[in-house]
Structure formats: structure tokens, C-alpha cells
Structure 1
């Protein structure tokens, strides 16, 4: 008799919606969020004259790059950034600097 362990549950993956806005422009939305959620909008993508995709990121976590060769690289980078975890909000204070009393 052989027994196999059950598969571990897979983390919920985010479904990215790539919506064309015109010739060479797209909007990327998070399909796992409600239509009324403002955090649903992730980025705007525009193809420039050289064929490179330029991205305007609108949400954290997001990749550090803003230029890509194709949409597949962009989505792979976005998946990796989300998998790494949330970055602190921009409104949080930076690392504290220790202050010492005058000598």
C-alpha cells in the first residue's frame, strides 16, 4: 500500500487584466479586486516609437523597472514583485536616525 502526501495549497495568484486603450497603449488591472476598488488599477503601459513599453506604476508593490521589451516580461516582473511582498507605504517614516544628547 502506498500513501502520498496531499499537495500543499497553492497561494492565490493575482489575475492581471491587460485592457487595450488604443493602438500601443494598455491598462493593467488586478482582476482579484472589486470593480469599485481604487487599488484595482495597477499601471498604464504605452509603446514608444522604438517599440519599447514604458510603464507608469500606480500601486505598490511594483517592479523597479519602467521599460520592457514585451508585455510578458512586464507581467513576470509584476508577479515577482507581488510575490516578494508589500513594500512600506510612502507615508511611513524612513529608518530612524539615533539622536544623542550634546556632549
Structure 2
């Protein structure tokens, strides 16, 4: 509901794609490399929860920065930052309940 309010307030149009498409090839390759590095590093990490939270923070921050830098007029970075906050909140609360 808050996301719809953000879209209306900042006049952010609905994405044309059903899945996320990066702003340029550099972003796409960097995000793929981060995913591969994360999946490989899972085998070497004892405590996965902080690693998972760190990955989401770095990945979402990079995505928001690239959207801000190259597609500032579309204001999609606002939604990315909002979703990063929600994911972080859910992960922290969810893992603290376990």
C-alpha cells in the first residue's frame, strides 16, 4: 500500500518488464557476479544470517545507486530503497524470532 502511495506521490510509472532489467550491461554483469560470489561463499560461512543481510544491503544499494545515477528522472531508485528497507526489516525481525 505504501509502495502505491510512493508511486503516486513521485509519479513513478509502472515498469514495462515483468522482471528487473538493469540500466546498462555493467550493472547486469556486476549483479550476476555478486550472486555467483554469494552462492559460492555460502559454503565457507559459518553464520549465514549476517552474510545474507549483508548481501541484500550491498545488492540493493548498488541497484539503487545505478538507478539514481543513470535513470534519475524515472525515480525508480526510491522504490528500490523502500524495498531494501522492507527486506532488511523482515530479515532482521524474522531471524530475531528464530
Greater radius of gyration (CA): 1
Could you tell me the TM-score, scaled by structure 2's length?
Answer: 0.29
The higher-RCO structure (CA 8 Å, 6+ apart) is 2
* Structure richer in strand, relative to its length: 1
